[in-house]
Every structure is written in structure tokens, then in C-alpha cells.
A and B are shown apart, each in its own frame.
Chain A
Amino acid sequence: MFLVPDPVVRFFHRMASPPHFYAFSERLMPWLVVIFLLLTVTGLYGGLYLAPPDYQQGDSYRIIYIHVPAAWMSLFIYVVMAIAGAIGLIWRIKLAEVVMISSASVGASFTFIALVTGSLWGKPMWGTWWVWDARLTSELILLFLYLGVIGLYGAIDDKRTASKAVAILALVGVVNIPIIHYSVEWWNTLHQGPTVAKVGKPSIHLSMLTPLLLMALAFKVYYAIALILQARVELLQRERNSQWVKVKATEEGGL
């Protein structure tokens, strides 16, 4: 609390209170949607229309604008989940638990999208839907880690206990992700190495890179939107007996 300016600290303290978060996220939502649409439209226009076709892969490389941002998000969200879990474990902040568990399904979806688009991309490029490539394999294991988190949360009835369990699991997982990733890479280089003729990393041209970065940003904003929507539902469910939810319900639903 020494280096962080006071208003920032106060902002986070207020954010930790469910009713305040609920009201704030409601006001934030339209802005996020507008930013997301702007980024997506410009990103897709740049990627699908303005960017030139690749000299080797032709037009089929354009799936990169979905595939790569999704793959980036899959890892990013796991880390967010683990950090939120640690915050929830240490400071017992309810909202951190809600953020953690709401992230899990979004992260699993992004991982799934990255796997599917990767396999679609692999068919024309490598001639097969699936290769046991290091990145594909570690992405698949990441999906299993996400499913484990979701499964564990679903299996425990008391949701506060479930959050604690999931937080421990996410922290164990985040320690293991680098180990899994590098072991899979090692395994792959020993088992097949050159069979996957990677295009290497040709220094990507600016006209292709800019849309990619725009799409990455768009996916980040989309994550924020999906997270907030999930978190609001989760909050209402958890706090259904508290006063502010009852007030909210009578205000909006006229119950």
C-alpha cells in the first residue's frame, strides 16, 4: 500500500464489495461492448480484407486472427484465474472467488477454440487434422486442467468451499503449466522433430501484424465482457439472501 496511490487502493476496496461491483459493471458494460465491436470490426477488416495473402499459405493463414488470440487468451486466463484464486485464499475476498470461477469456463472455451481452429488450420497446411505437436499437446492438456477446475467446482456443493478447492487446484496448476509445457516440447523434439514442417517464424509484415494485435485486444475485451456477465450471475446466486439482491430484485422485477 506504500507505492499504490490512494485513489487506486480505494477503488479496489470498493470493487471488492459485491453490490458496488454489480452497479459498476452495469455502467461499464455498454462501453466494453462498443470497444469490443470497434476492435473486432477493424481487426477483422484489416485481417480478412486489407492484409495480403501469405506467399506460402495463401488465404488460409487468415484463421490466425482467431487462432492465435484465442491461444494467447487460454494461457492468460489461467494465470488470471490462479491470481484471483490466490487473492481469494489470502484475503478472503468473495469477488476474487467469483472472478476466478467465472474465468474458468471462458478460459476453457478459448482453449477449445484454439484447438479447433488449430486443427482446421492444420488440415490444409500439414495435411492432417491433428499432429502431436508440442503446442497442440500442451494446449490439450491445458483444456484438461480447465475441465478439472470446472469439474471440481461443480462437484462440491458448498460454493465457498468449492472456491477454496478450486483456488488451490489453480495454484498447483499454474506451477505445473511451465513444467508440462517444456516437458511436452522436449518429448516432441525427441519423438518427431522435423515431421512437422513449421513455416518457422517469418518476420510477420506490419499489415498482417496490426490486425492480429487488434484482434488480441478485442479478445481481451471480450473476455472482460464474458467474465463480467458470468460474475454477475454468480454473484446474484451466491448473494441471493442478502439485502442488496432483494432490493435489486424488487426494483427491476417488481416482485
Chain B
Amino acid sequence: MFEIDGLKKRFGTEAARPLFEGVSLQLRRGECVAIMGESGVGKSTLLNCMAGLEPADGGSIRLDGTELVGLDDDAFARLRRRSYGFVFQAFHILPHLSVLQNVALPMWLLDEHGIEADRRARAMLERVGLADRAAGWPRELSGGELQRVAIARALVHRPALVLADEPTGNLDPDRAAGVLDLLLEGIRRDGAMGILVTHSRTAASRADRVLRLSAGGLHPEAART
């Protein structure tokens, strides 16, 4: 269970108007939620607060009952390596690691090396259809393939929560659909929870719920007429 309650974030002094406040969300295992909103409303900032990469100015974030607001930097880093997966718009696959090594990286971070890490990474690559590219290098892959590697990397260590920021933003609609299917299917199959920030209504519609972020909080997206 991932729970956010009354989360508040402001930039600048305490007198400054909050970027958002009163953000609340409950997410169950196997559930995916899409967050939409106008540019500049703070969608990415909200993701960063959830990941402990930016401090929140109020409210609470709990993962499986553990309070995360107030955790120090190192503790949050250790939590991220165990319980979080990330998918970025620009893929951010490390160019000096092979495809297999990129996928195995989260396992390395958990001190799992060798055959088991390789086996899991290969299995993930098989799931995303890139088993034959395991020994290759990121520079040899297309954008769609790179994002599939990123999805494999996000899921390989079976995180509780996967945060994806515009995962299809750099892809054409055909590839976007395929990549999104892989991501959501992976999250549901592993019993993880997914939060998807996107501008794409098509992408958002694949989630179990669509929420809209505004300065006043997260609200269910009204059905589009």
C-alpha cells in the first residue's frame, strides 16, 4: 500500500504560495494510476517528493505503513534501491554498461551479483523482447528499445513502486503503445504499484485511474466529453 496524505510543496520562503498542497493518494498493490496536469503544475516535483529526491513541506508519505517524510537522504537512497523503479522520458540508460549490465544494475545495488543477477536480468530482457540484445551496447538500440531496457531495469528487482515520468514522451504512437503495455503488464504481474505522469490522454487511459494535479491537490479526472 502506498499512501500520500495532505502533501504540500512550496518553493522559496514559507510565505510563498505553495506549488501544491493537500495532495492525497492511496494505491493498492497491482494498481496503476496516471497523473495528468498542466505544464508547471508540479507533476514531476510530486514524483520527486514521492521518491525522496525533493523534500516535502508538509503531509505524509507511507509505503506499506512506513512513514517516509523525514527520512534522511541516505535512508531514502537505500529505500529507493530496494523498493522503487524509475522510467524516464529520456531513458537514461548508462552508455558504458552493456544492455544486460544496465538491467542488472539495480540487482548490483542490492548486492546481488553473478549468476542470479544475470538470470533475473536476462529473464527481464526476455519479457521486454530484447533477450538477443543482452550483450549489445545502448548505442546500438533504437529509442523504443532503449525504453524497453529502461522498463526491464525498473522491474528487475521487483520494486514495490514504479515511478514513470512521460515514459512514452520520446516515442511515436505505435511504439508508445507497446512500451506502455509492457510497463503496465509488468507492474500488475509483479503486484507492484505504478504512478505514471503523462500529458498523453491515450497513455493515461491505460491506467486503472486517472488523476489531475492542481495547486489544491489530486482529483479524479473528469470524464472527457
Mutual binders A and B: no
- Chain B residues within CB distance 8 Å of chain A: none
